[in-house]
A and B are shown apart, each in its own frame.
Chain A
Amino acid sequence: MEGIKIIVLAKQVPDTRNVGKDAMKADGTVNRAALPAIFNPEDLNALEMALTIKERIAGTTITLLTMGPGRAAEIIREGFFRGADDGILLTDRAFAGSDTLATSYALAQAIRKMGRVDLIVAGRQAIDGDTAQVGPQVAEKLRIPQVTYAEELLDITGERIVLKRRLEHGVESVSAPLPLLITVNGTAPECRPRNARLLMKYKHAKTITEIQSAAEDYLHLYNDRPYLNIHEWSISQIETDPSQLGLEGSPTKVKKIDNVVLQAKESRIVAPTDDEIGDLMKELIANHTIG
Chain B
Amino acid sequence: MNSVFVYCESDNGIVAEVSLELLTKGRKLANGLNCKLEAVVIGTKLNGCENDLFPYGADVVHVADDPRLDPYQTLPHASIFTGLMREKKPQIVLIGATSTGRDLGPRVSSALHSGLTADCTSLEIGDHEDKKEGKTYKDLLYQIRPAFGGNIIATIINPDHRPQMATVREGVMKKEITDPDYRGELKKIEVDRYLQPEDFAVQIIDRHIEKSRINLKGAPVIVAGGYGVGSKENFDLLFELAETLGGEVGASRAAVDAGFAVHERQIGQTGVTVRPKLYIACGISGQIQHRAGMEESAQIISVNTDPEAPINAIADYVIIGDVADVIPKMIRHYRKNTK
Interface residues of A (CB under 8 A from B): 16-17, 19, 23-24, 28-30, 99-101, 104, 128-137, 139-141, 145-149, 162, 167-177, 250-260, 262-272, 274, 277-278, 280-282, 284-285, 289-291
B315 and A267 contacting across the interface, CB-CB below 8 Å: yes
A146 and B270 contacting across the interface, CB-CB below 8 Å: no
Given contacts A171-B208, A289-B278, A289-B298, contact A272 B321 (CB under 8 A): yes
Q: How far is the CA of A269 from the CA of B321 in the complex (A)?
A: 11
Q: For the complex formed, measure the closest distance between the CB of A130 and the CB atoms of chain B, giving whole angstroms.
A: 6
What A residues does B1 contact at CB under 8 A?
none
Q: How far is the CA of A258 from the CA of B201 in the complex (A)?
A: 45
Contact with A along B94-124 (1 / 0, CB 8 A): 0000110011011101110111111100000
Chain B interface residue count, CB cutoff 8 Å, equals: 87
Chosen A-B contacts, 9 in total, with CB atoms closer than 8 Å, are: A17-B257, A129-B118, A170-B210, A176-B202, A253-B158, A258-B153, A272-B329, A278-B337, A291-B338
Name B111's contact: one of A30, A140, A262, A284 (CB within 8 Å).
Answer: A140
Contact with A along B194-221 (1 / 0, CB 8 A): 0000000111111111111000000001
What B residues does A146 contact at CB under 8 A?
74, 103, 107
A251 and B322 contacting across the interface, CB-CB below 8 Å: no
B298 and A175 contacting across the interface, CB-CB below 8 Å: no
Contact with A along B37-81 (1 / 0, CB 8 A): 000000000000000000000000000000000010011001000
B337 and A265 contacting across the interface, CB-CB below 8 Å: no
Is B180 an interface residue, CB under 8 A from the partner?
A: no
Is B182 an interface residue, CB under 8 A from the partner?
A: no
What A residues does B156 contact at CB under 8 A?
252-255
Is B312 an interface residue, CB under 8 A from the partner?
A: yes
Main secondary structure of the interface of A (DSSP, over half): mixed
Is B318 an interface residue, CB under 8 A from the partner?
A: yes
Q: Find residues 119-168 in chain B having any chain A CB closer than 8 Å to their own CB.
A: 119, 128, 142-143, 146-161
B203 and A175 contacting across the interface, CB-CB below 8 Å: yes
Q: Find residues 212-255 in chain B having any chain A CB closer than 8 Å to their own CB.
A: 212, 221, 245-246, 254
- Of chain B, the residue at the smallest CB distance from A171 is B208
Q: How far is the CA of A104 from the CA of B334 in the complex (A)?
A: 55
What A residues does B319 contact at CB under 8 A?
269-272, 277, 280
Name A99's contact: one of B103, B115, B211 (CB within 8 Å).
Answer: B115
What A residues does B313 contact at CB under 8 A?
262-265, 267
A147 and B202 contacting across the interface, CB-CB below 8 Å: yes
Q: For the complex formed, measure the closest distance between the CB of B109 and the CB atoms of chain A, giving whole angstroms.
A: 7
- Of chain A, the residue at the smallest CB distance from B205 is A173
19 extra interchain contacts, Cβ-Cβ under 8 A, other than A16-B149, A170-B209, A289-B277? A17-B149, A101-B114, A136-B110, A168-B212, A172-B71, A174-B205, A176-B202, A252-B158, A254-B154, A255-B155, A255-B157, A260-B150, A268-B318, A272-B321, A272-B329, A277-B333, A280-B317, A282-B333, A285-B338
